[in-house]
């Protein structure tokens, strides 16, 4: 039996239709490529920015990361790095945020938003030790490790030194006042611990260092009182009298002047009665050598 040309064309059309249908089915049921790999840079940034505004830090970080990887150069990428650092900061990924900020500062040292990068790094370190447990327990910052607060203070100091007219300078100055007081309170607590333990020379030196390192803090009066009490217990009457005279002149209402300071054991001792004693004792020996 001989097949007609019309039959052959019909068979060919059926085969082509089957192939097209099969391809469409594979496309429909196959793995869809994520939009982070297909969107143009402007739309990708808009999606990331919208997630940031909505507080979806994880999604924002993912979109910013893919934008930077796919489009390593350009205005969107420059801004995306700052936004990524902010999203990481809000998500509590402080190490990643710091790395992103440091990379931004190295790459774009003259960028018009470089002041914000320094400010954001200060915020990251300001909040680094503020864990959920500490927020719930309302622990005093002065009782925590001081490395991050010191770094935060230095970050804000660098900001106001390099960019004194920055829109972030005023807030940075306020945070520096707070940090200076907390760092001073930490040193005071250490000094009171020395006093409790009978390390009077170390206690006096810690009070002196507090005045030198954190001038005009709200703990100035306590620092002078710490020195005075240490000198009293050492039997250094002249030095104790000098401390009293300075305290009467600058802080006439201080409770040490009426024999009502310090009250009981130090805050450090009451919160952490045993832990860290060896480390603090080692520090006391160093203070006595000063």
Average pLDDT over residues 166-187: 96
pLDDT in tens, 71-93: 999 999 999 999 999 999 999 99
pLDDT tens digits for range 243-252: 999 999 999 9
> Going by C-beta distance under 8 Å and a sequence separation of 6 or more, which residues neighbour residue 98?
121, 124, 125
Query: Average pLDDT, stretch 54-74?
Result: 96
Determine if the pTM surpasses 0.85.
no
pLDDT value of position 146 = 86
| CATH number assigned to the domain with residue range 35-112, chosen from the 4 options 3.30.465.10, 1.10.3720.10, 1.10.1200.10, 1.25.40.10 | 1.25.40.10
What would the two tokens of residue 276 be? 């860290």
Instruction: Name the residue ranges covered by the structural domains of the chain.
Output: 35-112
Average pLDDT over residues 177-190: 95
């Amino acid at each position: 039996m001989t097949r007609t040309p019309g039959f052959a064309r019909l068979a060919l059309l059926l085969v082509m239709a089957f192939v097209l249908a099969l391809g469409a089915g594979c496309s429909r049921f196959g793995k869809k490529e994520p939009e982070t790999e297909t969107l143009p840079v402007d739309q990708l940034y808009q999606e990331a920015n919208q997630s940031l505004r909505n507080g979806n830090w994880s999604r924002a970080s993912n979109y910013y990361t893919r934008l930077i990887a796919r489009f390593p150069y350009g205005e969107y990428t420059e801004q995306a790095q700052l936004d990524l650092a902010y999203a990481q900061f809000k998500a509590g990924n402080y190490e990643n945020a710091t790395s992103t900020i440091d990379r931004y500062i190295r790459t774009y040292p003259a960028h018009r938003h470089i002041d914000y990068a320094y400010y954001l790094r200060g915020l990251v370190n300001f909040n680094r030790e503020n864990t959920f447990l500490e927020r719930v327990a309302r622990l005093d910052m002065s009782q925590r490790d001081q490395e991050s607060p010191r770094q935060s203070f230095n970050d804000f100091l660098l900001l106001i030194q390099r960019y004194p007219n920055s829109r972030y300078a005023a807030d940075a100055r306020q945070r520096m006042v707070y940090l200076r007081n907390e760092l001073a309170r930490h040193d005071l607590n250490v000094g009171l611990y020395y006093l409790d333990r009978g390390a009077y020379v170390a206690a006096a030196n810690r009070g002196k260092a507090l005045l030198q390192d954190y001038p005009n803090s709200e703990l100035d009066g306590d620092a002078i009182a710490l020195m005075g009490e240490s000198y009293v217990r050492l039997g250094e009457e002249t030095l104790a009298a000098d401390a009293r005279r300075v305290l009467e002149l600058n802080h006439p209402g201080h409770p040490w002047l009426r024999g009502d300071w310090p009250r009981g054991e130090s805050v450090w001792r009451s919160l952490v009665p045993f832990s860290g004693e060896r480390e603090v004792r080692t520090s006391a020996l160093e203070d006595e050598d000063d």
